[in-house]
Amino acid sequence: MSYNEDNNTGKVLLALLAGASAGIVAGLLIAPDKGSATRGNLKNYAGKYGDQLGEQLNKFGTQLDGSFKTLVEKLEDLGVTGAGSSLNLKGDWNESKGKLKQQYAQLTDEDLEYSEGAADELVGRLQEKLGKGKREIVKLLNDL
């Protein structure tokens, strides 16, 4: 590197520092409020817009969930997916089995046998035993 290149680099750095300093000074002179007041205002705006964004995301998530469930039901009706793909079992299965046995005395433990990934089989057995449609069975199980 020659002396000229070092000198030019130094000039560029000096100009950069001078510009940054001038910007800081101008910002301090022009600022309408004290720094603490400005930070407080920024914090309030951020909180307000953050809350609004959170509400919008919740609404969007709810709409997306509903759309997804509708699409899954349509796919089931077309036979593209299995019967239990929209099955959403929550809670203790043994407790749910007890409720089903109370409602439908003809159901046995074998009929209500369920393991992860075997929702189609459970729905099929219940359809046969109860004489109901797939959609009714899935709704019945999801409502438990």
Determine if residue 107 is left, alpha or beta; phi over 0 gives left, psi from -120 to 50 gives alpha, anything else beta: beta
Give pTM, 2 decimals.
0.42
> How many CB atoms neighbour CB 144 within 10 A?
14
Digitized pLDDT (tens) for each residue of the chain, 144 residues in all: 444 555 677 788 888 888 888 887 777 677 777 778 878 877 888 888 888 888 888 888 888 888 887 887 777 667 666 555 567 777 788 888 888 888 888 988 888 888 777 788 888 888 888 888 888 888 888 777
> How many CB atoms neighbour CB 109 within 10 A?
8
User: Which structure tokens are listed for 99?
Assistant: 């409720």
Quote the CA–CA distance of 5 and 63 in Å, as a whole number.
61
> How many CB atoms neighbour CB 124 within 10 A?
16
Q: What pLDDT sits at residue 85?
A: 54
Q: What pLDDT sits at residue 79?
A: 64
Inter-CA distances, 117 with 98, 110, 123, Å: 21, 17, 12
